Amino acid sequence: MKVAIIKYNAGNVVSVNFALERLGITPIITDDITILQTADKVIFPGVGEASTTMKYLKNKQLDKIITSLQQPVLGICLGMQLLCQHSEEGDTDCLGVFPLKVRHFNSQKNTKQADLKVPHVGWNTLENLQSPLLQDLPTQNPYVYYVHSFYVEQGEPTIANTQYILPFSAALHYKNFYAVQFHPEKSGEVGAKILENFLALK
């Protein structure tokens, strides 16, 4: 199986690479159009800032390539947010695969729990799981690892949510595009199973 990780100016590429190697997959880290189009699976990771990253993707014409991919694609963290319609981070128009907006957490302003700070960092639970991407996880109350200040609102593509200050989309699915806000590569056995499920998708 040929798995490509999109190479660009933002991303947790190294940790995703190691996580796949633990599953017996040696991915190709690339921005080569032909390799991305012919890979069996494509992973779109991300740690960074939305507006500068979108400018980079457009300059490299990766924006058009990503949205035209026909095989299963997995966005992670910023990769998930960039697959949405618009982000409040830098007032950025994104790739528009998911018709959802990315919003900034309002810290304690809208919650009685004053200890909920931004960014949301650490382990939290997945709820309302609805997809083969999230099936057969090793625990009934799966915990995954988050690091983010912006969240994706809930909508029709939402296949799991998490509660932090308010409920938000933990995972999304539309056609061949999947995405998770958390970091599966840092989420232990649960994250490894989610990556394994992605690799098994047709």
Catalytic residues, which ones? 77, 183, 185
Look up residue 186 and give its DSSP letter: G
- What does the CA dihedral 182, 123, 9, 49 come to, rounded to 10 degrees? 90
Length of the chain: 202
Fill in the amino acid letter for 50: A
Per the CB < 8 A criterion, the answer to whether 71 and 102 are in contact is no
∠70-184-1 over CA atoms, to 5°? 45
Q: How far is residue 17's CA from residue 21's CA, in Å, rounded to a whole number?
A: 6
Per the CB < 8 A criterion, the answer to whether 46 and 77 are in contact is yes
Look up residue 127 and give its DSSP letter: B
Fill in the amino acid letter for 196: E
